[in-house]
Every structure is written in structure tokens, then in C-alpha cells.
Amino acid sequence: MDCDILVIGAGVLGLSSAYHMKRRDPSKKILVIDKFSGPGQGNSAKSEGGFRNVFTSETNYLLADTSIDAYKEMEEQGHDIKLQFIGYLWLFSQGQHEAIKPAVDAIVKRGGSVTVLSLDELKESVPCLVTGFGGDEEAELMGLEDVAVGVFGEKCGSLDADALTRAYEAEFLRLGGEVMYNTEAKRLLLKPEEELGIPGEPFVWQNTRIVGAETSKGSINAAKTVIACGVWAASLMDPVGLDSFMRPKKRQLFAFKDAKLGPLFKVKGLNEEGSIPLTILPKAKILFRSELSEGSIWLGCADDLGRRFELEEDPQAEEDYYTNNVYHVLVKYFPCFEDVRPMNMWAGQYAINSLDETPVVYEAHGMYYIGAASGSGIMKADALGRIIDALVAGEEEAELQGGRRFRVANLGVRYRHVEHERFVI
């Protein structure tokens, strides 16, 4: 089988890439393959589905802000991706706020829709939040600090990651694109530019290119091969000695639905829905948000040290991890969680670029890589799809949603230029 462009991975990045490439030139034969049986079944659909435009890094801001605009347009065009602008709420201690203040000021100056909430405003908006732990020995033991300030981002919220992925698939198919599921890429195909037909090719003195992949359904030859398979990228790239600049790490999500959590749906003045924004605790990178479609709360925790880098085929959430770890901090800040058990839990994997936590997009020998999204693939997928489309088309700049322009090489290897992010979760 032959195609112009083979995209490996039908997750949100692969399908956004495929859609933008097909849109550029509908006459191109573009084929997306995935080992799973449907779109987003790797890690996309397992995402918490949070999105935000609150970043100090100009790169992160551009990628996310324009992608959010694109998602708004997709919803206007009839895709029900459940975009909810519930906002992001960072809870900071006094010390944390002092450290982050210059970054917040810079975001406000840029025109970001960010508000700083005083302690009183915070108490008024989120009455179920405990902000002070005076005399609580347990809280002291855990090193919990009083909450002093909230930083609220307006152009932030949640979406249905599965629906977003399916929306890109639908648009891609509508333009005539092809997707094959249950089709696993086994290895990348290498071929000398000028084949001699001598055993042992390719030799070190030949110019060699990636020309597709051997899959579970036979060889697929392609002029250009796009690797967009997230944490599985290394399995294809390591064998040919190309770096995916990411390591996989498990992330767990716990969903709760309980009458006790009612106060989290009675929040004032932060969003139209009156529900708790995606809220980041001042401790242990614990975050949760309301999921309005089912009236539930989704909670995650970005544990770093001690959480291994490892590719897992079927990562599982650990109830014990919530019960013995996260719960004890969570219930101090939000006592409404007391004795509430998760009704559901699942786990996915992040493809983490530890160096600058920014996605990587580069070309080498006919292979085009998009990955290392470090957990922000959902919220940056539109911009990233446009950027790899520009790279594949040989353009130096990509046009992002709304006409803003982005220098493709900034996300590459040789001329990489990304800023250090201060607003990490």
C-alpha cells in the first residue's frame, strides 16, 4: 500500500495533524493508522481534559490560546466537544504567591484574562474551602500552609478529550482522509535514496530515508511518515536511533459523584455554571475540576519524584494512591471530600519532556515527529497539528488559529527556542 503521508497514531495529535495536512492539500493521500480500535484510545481519551491559556512561556501561551480559539470554532460548527469555560483556580500560600507574582503580572500585562483573588474574595467565592490551619497538628505535620491568594484564569476550563479527538477524525474523513484501526506499526522502513539492490542495504555511505512502516497489516510505503503515537513513539524511533525526547509516566484520575460534594457546585462569581473551576491545591500538585456533563468531580495528582518512567500497555489507577496519599491533603482544604470514595478511576500516560516540558516537532530523514507533549497535548492539539503541517509542507512558519504565526523551528531540535514555564502544574 502506498500513500503520500502516513500518520502513525490516531490520537488527538495524529488526527489534528492529519486534518490540517489534508486541509492544506485534499489531493494528497493521507493515511492514519492506529493499533487501537478507535480514535484516542491510547491516552487522548484518558485525559483530564483541562485546558488553559495561563502560561508564562510565550510558546505555551500561543499554542494553547490559539487551540482554545480553534475549539470554540469547532463547537460553533457543530462538534459537541463540551467546552466548559469553568476557569482554572490556583490556590497559593503567601510564599508561593510572592514567588509567582512577577509571572502573574507578566501574564496580566500580556492581556491574559487572569484575576488575583484576595483571601476574602476567595472565601466569598468558594465557601467550602478551608484556607487556614491554625492549631491543626495534622496539617502542620503535612506541611500544609494557609491559603493566601487565588489566581483565576478565565480562558480556561474543560473539554471532552474523546469528543475532540473524534471531531478531528470526522473533519479529516470528511475531506477524504483514510484511517485504519487495529493496525499496529511494527517498525519504520528505511530505504536508500538510490537503491542498488545489493544485500546489506542501506550502507553507511548511502543517504537513507524513512519510507513508511511495516504494520500488522503489511508494509505501508509513504513519501513522508509522521510519528504521532505519544508514549509509543520511542518503540518505533529507538530502533532506528532517532530520539523521541520523552519518557512515559503514569497519571491517574479519580472520579467522584456524591451528594456530599454539593458545595463544589455552589461556587460564586467565578463562572456561569457556578461550579468549582479546575482547582490546583498549594500542596502536592493535586488538582480537581467539576465535570458538568455528569455532575461529578475529576481529580488528579501530578506526582513526580518516585513515580517511574516506564511504558505501560495498560496502566491502572491505584485506589490506595488516592486513599492513603492524596486524600489526606485534599480533605484538609476541602472537607466535603470526607469519606467520599472514588466511583471510578483510570490511568493514562504522559509523554514527558523533562527538559522544557514543551512539545517537540522535528524532521529527520523523511520522518516527522510530533510528541513529548508532556500532558498538554489536548489543549495544544490544534496549534501542534498546524505546526507539523507547516513542517511537512516545508514552510518556516505555521499560521495558527486566528492568523497568529509561529516559527516551526522553535519546537525543533537544532534551533529549539522555548521559554521556561513558571506556571507548571
Rounded Cα gap, residues 63 and 319, in angstroms:
34
**Least gap, CB of 416 to a copy of itself (angstroms):** 7
CB of 166 to a copy of itself, least distance (A): 32
Nearest approach in angstroms of CB 364 to a copy of itself is 7
Shortest distance, position 236 Cβ to a copy of itself, whole Å: 11
- Cβ-based nearer residue to a copy of itself, 271 or 358: 358
Residue closer to a copy of itself (CB basis): 196 or 343 = 196
Nearest approach in angstroms of CB 308 to a copy of itself is 5
Minimum gap (Å) between residue 47 Cβ and a copy of itself: 20
Task: Using the minimum distance from each CB to a copy of itself, give the nearer residue, 124 or 396.
Answer: 396
Site of interaction with a copy of itself (CB under 8 A)? 141-144, 190, 196, 200, 202-208, 237-243, 245, 247, 249, 283-286, 301, 303-310, 320, 324-326, 328-329, 352, 354-355, 364-365, 413-416, 420
Residue closer to a copy of itself by CB (options 200, 403) is 200
